Amino acid sequence: MKRALITGVTGQDGLYLSELLLSKGYEVYGLVRGQNNPKLALLEQTVPGVKVLTGDLMDMSSLLRALNVAQPDEVYNLGAISFVAYSWENAHLTSDVTGKGVLNLLEAIRLYAGDDIRKVRFYQASSSEMFGKVQEVPQRESTLLWPRSPYGVAKVYGHYMTINYRESYGMHASSGILFNHESPRRGPEFVTRKVSQAVARISLGLQENISLGNLDAKRDWGFAGDYVEAMWRMLQQEEGDDYVVATGETHSIRELLDVAFAHVGIEDWSSLVLQDPRFMRPAEVELLIGDPAKAFDKLGWKPQVGFEQLVRMMVDNDLAEQRALAGL
């Protein structure tokens, strides 16, 4: 039986990856931060098979302890402060967790593994935010990185540190450059879920309108359930490597609004969407579109859920959730 340790296990991707690994017969350990973490209940309810360990990416001794208990064949680093907008307000904390946290975990694995460095395979959750200011379209593994937020800069640090541990120590370390990936489990602060929740509430008469920032930004949105499969496949390769994981399609926030509102029968949403400068970012990533050719070719991976299907899935989930909450 293979053993895996997942940081960020209570997040969207952690939940999907835990389910995937449990279905493959893995023993799954999840690192959970802090005392009374409110997300722990969700994890225990959604994926009860996960064995919970306490630790923090900023506390290397807790990482070493977790490795000693879990004795993992595979470590997936999904833990991060992941909300881009928040990273301008909390640049130091984001750098410590999202950036230096990767080094702490790599170093803990190196110390834990000793002479047998290849006994643990490592996955780093890198991000399309690293591409930032458009240098090339579509973006691929070799595209110049030009991050546009403290979050993006921290992710670049983690990305190169992962490559460095592969090249310096021969560690089986892979970096998945994942473009935006969404699901009904997405946190409500991210734009897709914010929209799907608001559209559901507006159609049920529970809310009047929604305030958003930049409607012209474009993202390559895929389904998180598909993307965790790519993570796993990376660690099944002979060697560690870097892969773009994306759909190869891009859509604006306006198109997201079109599909979400149309699904509840609203064709003209112009009076329902307010633009609020509070949700504009100091520097924006205008256009993301990934070239997933390498992942298709080397991993045999392909996304199953398309953009419109994804948006409808999220709106349907929020309709059911909001009806239940409101007792409708």
Matching residue, tokens 């990305």: 159
The answer to whether residue 87 is catalytic is no
Are 247 and 291 contacting, i.e. CB atoms less than 8 angstroms apart?
no
Instruction: Give least dist CB 220 to ligand GDR, A.
Output: 9
Phi, psi of 69 (to 5 degrees): -75, -45
Which helix (H) or strand (E) is 75 found in, with range?
strand 74-77
Which candidate, 320, 194, 307, 322, places its Cα nearest to that of 259? 307
Annotated catalytic residue within 18, 87, 126, 127: 127
Q: Is 165 or 227 the residue whose CB approaches ligand GDR more closely?
A: 227
Task: Check residue 139 for interaction with ligand GDR (CB under 6 A).
Answer: no
**Terminal Cα distance for the chain, rounded:** 46
Cα 158 from Cα 96, distance rounded (Å):
11
Q: Among the candidate windows 67-75, 189-197, 244-252, 291-299, which touches ligand GDR by CB under 6 A?
A: 189-197
Cis amide prior to 188 (ω within 30 degrees)? no
Task: Check residue 281 for interaction with ligand GDR (CB under 6 A).
Answer: yes
Site mask, ligand GDR, residues 233-272, x = CB under 6 A?
--------------------x-------------------
Annotated catalytic residue within 76, 151, 227, 243: 151
Instruction: Give least dist CB 313 to ligand GDR, A.
Output: 16
| Strand bridging mode 218-219 / 251-252 | antiparallel
Task: Check residue 213 for interaction with ligand GDR (CB under 6 A).
Answer: yes
- Known catalytic residues are 127, 129, 151
Q: Which residues bind ligand GDR (CB under 6 A)?
A: 82, 84-85, 127-129, 179-180, 189-191, 194, 212-214, 217, 219, 253, 279, 281, 284-285
